[in-house]
């Protein structure tokens, strides 16, 4: 049985080359092949009548893939078995389709811009929302984050946990990634505070809620949800960070100096069958200082 590849989507931009390096390291760590894909966007829709447009170059003649070959050849570490693929189409549609034949899809947060862009932010969002495999988005260096989440030295993977609606697939991915990297796993569980209490005129206002009790309950639920994953990965050191307020803000703060932040994608709901990223996941993708992995939920039939 063949091992699914790690796919790196490239367009020749510095952002995509950073994503390529991340993907090469991920493939090597997994013992998986690396597949480098350049999407050539067909431009006939914007071509004036009567003007002939050259077709896409062959893979051996593709300038972007040639640049990638030179970039990987300059690396001094062990490289995974690498395949180079040139395809064509609309990036927003092609990128998610790549996930059906990959264990990871890796791309940069931005691309070259203009109609020739492969990795525009909107296309990255489309891949994170629609791909069947986890999607890793590698940001540009130097992103500033605000706030502070205590963290010790050494490699660290961060995962967001919603205790009232936990995503076991996301937790499983985060534990496995921490194990591969020999990293600590920091579990961030936020609870809304202050609670919003609404009352109609003449109705009694609900009693005051004890914040310490809410935090203790959140921590208890967090620890209980981690038990089966700790049993599967006894070598992974885990630490829980429970705090009030906005989950996205805490995850972005925790991304500073982290190796990876792992977040889940919304499950499809009866009245909203379309795939959704969710506001927390979108905010983390836009603002985190570290690479972000967006993990799709397990299909209901599984």
Percent with pLDDT over 90 in the chain: 55
229: CATH: 3.40.50.12370
Same domain, 82 and 165: no
pLDDT band at 299 (very low <50, low <70, confident <90, very high): low
Strands 34-40 and 104-108: unpaired
Cα separation, 13 vs 68, whole angstroms: 10
What average pLDDT does this structure show over 103-118?
67
Strands 104-108 and 82-88: unpaired
Same domain, 107 and 183: no
Same domain, 41 and 127: yes
| 149 occurs within a structural domain | no
Same domain, 85 and 173: no
Strands 135-138 and 156-160: unpaired
Q: Can you give the pLDDT at residue 301?
A: 47
pLDDT band at 48 (very low <50, low <70, confident <90, very high): low
Q: How many domains does the chain have?
A: 2
Same domain, 11 and 110: yes
pLDDT band at 115 (very low <50, low <70, confident <90, very high): very low
The pTM is what?
A: 0.85
What average pLDDT does this structure show over 151-156?
90
| 277 occurs within a structural domain | yes
What average pLDDT does this structure show over 272-291?
80
pLDDT in tens, 9-20: 998 889 999 999
- The whole domain housing 162 covers 156-197+210-295
Question: Bridge partners of 6?
Answer: 34, 104
31: CATH: 3.40.50.620
Which residues neighbour 298 within 8 Å (Cβ) at sequence distance 6 or greater?
168, 169
């Amino acid at each position: 049985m063949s091992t699914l590849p790690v796919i790196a989507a490239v367009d020749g931009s510095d952002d995509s080359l950073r994503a390529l390096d991340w993907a090469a390291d991920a493939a090597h760590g997994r013992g998986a092949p690396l597949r480098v894909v350049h999407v050539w966007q067909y431009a006939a829709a914007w071509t004036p009548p009567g003007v002939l447009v050259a077709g896409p170059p062959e893979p051996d003649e593709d300038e972007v893939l040639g640049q990638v070959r030179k970039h990987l050849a300059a690396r001094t570490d062990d490289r995974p078995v690498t395949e180079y693929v040139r395809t064509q189409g609309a990036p927003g549609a092609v990128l998610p389709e790549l996930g059906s034949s990959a264990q990871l899809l890796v791309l940069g947060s931005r691309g070259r811009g203009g109609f020739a862009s492969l990795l525009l932010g909107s296309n990255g969002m489309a891949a994170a929302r629609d791909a069947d495999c986890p999607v890793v988005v590698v940001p540009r260096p130097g992103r500033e984050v605000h706030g502070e989440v205590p963290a010790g030295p050494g490699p660290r993977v961060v995962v967001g946990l919603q205790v009232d609606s936990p995503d076991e697939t996301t937790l499983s991915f985060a534990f496995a990634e921490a194990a591969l990297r020999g990293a600590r796993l920091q579990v961030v569980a936020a609870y809304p505070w202050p609670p919003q209490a609404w009352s109609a005129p003449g109705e009694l206002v609900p009693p005051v809620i004890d914040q310490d009790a809410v935090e203790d309950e959140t921590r208890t639920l967090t620890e209980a949800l981690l038990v089966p994953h700790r049993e599967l990965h006894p070598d992974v050191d885990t630490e829980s960070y429970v705090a009030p307020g906005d989950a996205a803000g805490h995850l972005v703060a925790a991304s500073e100096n982290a190796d990876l932040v792992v977040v889940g994608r919304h499950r499809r709901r009866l009245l909203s069958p379309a795939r959704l990223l969710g506001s927390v996941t979108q905010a983390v993708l836009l603002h985190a200082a570290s690479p972000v992995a967006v993990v799709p939920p397990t299909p209901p039939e599984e």
